[in-house]
Amino acid sequence: MAESGPATLDSVAARAGVSRQTVSNVLRHPSRVAAPTRERVLAAIRESGYRPSLPARQLATRRAHAIAVRAERQQDGISGLVLDAFYHGLAEAGQDNGLRVLLYAQPEDEAAEVALIDELVLTGAADAVVLTATSADDERPAHLRANGTTFCAFGRPWGHDDEPHDWVDVDGAVGTGLAVQHLLDLGRRRIAYLGWPGDGAEPSTGTDRRRGWLDALAEAGLGGAALEARSLNDAAAAQAAVAELLDAPDAPDAIVCASDTLALGAHRAATTRGGEPATVVGFDATPVAAALGLASVAQPIDQAAHLCIELLTGRLETPDRPAQGLLVPPVLHLPT
C-alpha cells in the first residue's frame, strides 16, 4: 500500500484504469458514467480510502460550499438557548445540502459585521450568511444587498417590506394566540399580556406577539377587557410589573408573556400572593418554563434553520429568483 500521501483523483484514476475526470464524474455526476466503469471506480475509491479535497474543489468551482452565521457575544436572557438549537439545525441541514456552517464572532457594531461578512465572502470562506437577531433599525440587510452578498434572515424585515430579501420567521402572533386559546380552554377569561416596552409602536417581534394575544381575545369576544403590562426582559422587573397588575381592582386570572424570562417574573409575582394564582404562559419553551411547570410557546427552531438552508441553497443556485419570506407556526408546550 506504500502510496505517496493521501489518495487523489489521479491516483484513484490510475488504480481504476480510467481518467481523472471519470472519477470526478462518478462522484458528482454518476449518470454520465457507464455502470460497469462506475463500479470499478467506486471499488478503487473504497480501496484507496480516497476523500475529495475540499479546498481544491472550492478553488475550481469558486464556491466555498459554506455559509456563515454569527456567534452572539452574549445572551441577554433566558431565551438565548434557542440559538443553540438554531446552530444545530443549520449544521444538520447544511450537511444534508453540502454546506458547511462557519461561525464568526459578533463584532462591535453592524458596520463592522457587514465588513466581516464581506471579507468572508470575498476570501471565499463562505458563499452566504444567515442573519440572526434582526430588528426594524437593522442596517445589515440593506448593506448586504448593496454589496450583492447572498443572505437569508432569521427574522422578518420589520418595516422594510419595500426591500425584499429571503427570510424565515416564526409566527409570534399565532404563538400568543395558541396561548390565549389554551387559557380560554382552562376557563380563564381575564387574560393579560406581559410584553416588552415599546411593543405596539414600530413593527417588531414584540408587536407581533402582542397582536396575537389581542386578536385572540377579540375573537373570543373579550376584547374590551385587555389587561396589559410592560417590562424589560428581566425577571425582577417583570415580577414588579405583574405584581402591580395583580394589585389592581380587576386583576387578571392569566398572563401571556412575550418570553420565558418575563414568565419567570410573572410566575414569581403570581405565586407570592394568596388565593388562586394567575396562570402564566411563557414564550420559547426553555427549560426554565418546564422547571416551573409553565406552558410555553415553542418556536420550531429546527424547522426554521432547515428552511433558511433551503432558501439559501435555492438562491445560490438561482440568484435571480424573487425573494421569499417564510412564516412557520409555533406550537404550545404544555407542562408535564
Least gap, CB of 80 to its own copies (angstroms): 6
How many Å apart are CA 95 and CA 97, to the nearest integer?
5
Q: Spell out the long-range contacts of 132-138 with Cβ–Cβ below 8 A and sequence spacing 24 or more.
A: 132/69, 132/70, 132/72, 132/83, 132/86, 133/70, 133/72, 134/158, 134/167, 135/204, 136/160, 136/202, 136/203, 136/204, 138/110
Q: Strands 331-333 and 295-298: what pairing?
A: antiparallel
How many Å apart are CA 255 and CA 236, to the nearest integer?
16
How many Å apart are CA 321 and CA 323, to the nearest integer?
7
Least gap, CB of 33 to DNA (angstroms): 4
Closest listed residue to residue 131, CA positions, set 82, 67, 62, 75:
67
Interface with its own copies (CB under 8 A): 6, 51-56, 58-59, 64, 66, 69, 71-78, 80-81, 83-85, 87-88, 90-92, 94-95, 100-106, 119, 122-125, 234-236, 261, 264-265, 286-288, 290-293
Name which of DNA, its own copies, none residue 27 binds, using a CB cut-off of 5 to 8 Å depending on partner kind. DNA
Nearer to its own copies, 232 or 326 (CB): 232
Which residues, numbered 43-72, are part of the site for DNA (CB under 7 A)?
A: 50, 52-53, 56-57, 59-62
Does position 27 bind DNA by CB under 7 A?
Answer: yes
Q: Which part of the chain contacts DNA (CB under 7 A), choosing from 22-30, 145-153, 206-214, 324-332?
A: 22-30
What is the Cβ-side half-sphere exposure of residue 251, based on CA atoms within 13 angstroms?
17
Least gap, CB of 61 to DNA (angstroms): 5
Name which of its own copies, DNA, none residue 18 binds, using a CB cut-off of 5 to 8 Å depending on partner kind. DNA
Nearer to DNA, 60 or 103 (CB): 60
Please state the length of the chain: 336
Q: Which of 1, 2, 34, 146 binds DNA (CB under 7 A)?
A: 34
Report residue 275 as a C-alpha cell: 388565593
Q: What angle do CA 151, 72, 315 make, to 5 degrees?
A: 10
Q: Which helix (H) or strand (E) holds 160?
A: none
Q: Which part of the chain contacts DNA (CB under 7 A), choosing from 17-25, 113-121, 149-157, 186-194?
A: 17-25
DSSP code at position 32: G
Least gap, CB of 114 to DNA (angstroms): 22
Nearer to DNA, 45 or 192 (CB): 45
Nearer to its own copies, 67 or 214 (CB): 67
Nearer to its own copies, 215 or 234 (CB): 234
**Interface residues with DNA (CB under 7 A)?**
5-6, 8-10, 17-22, 24-25, 27-28, 32-34, 36-38, 50, 52-53, 56-57, 59-62
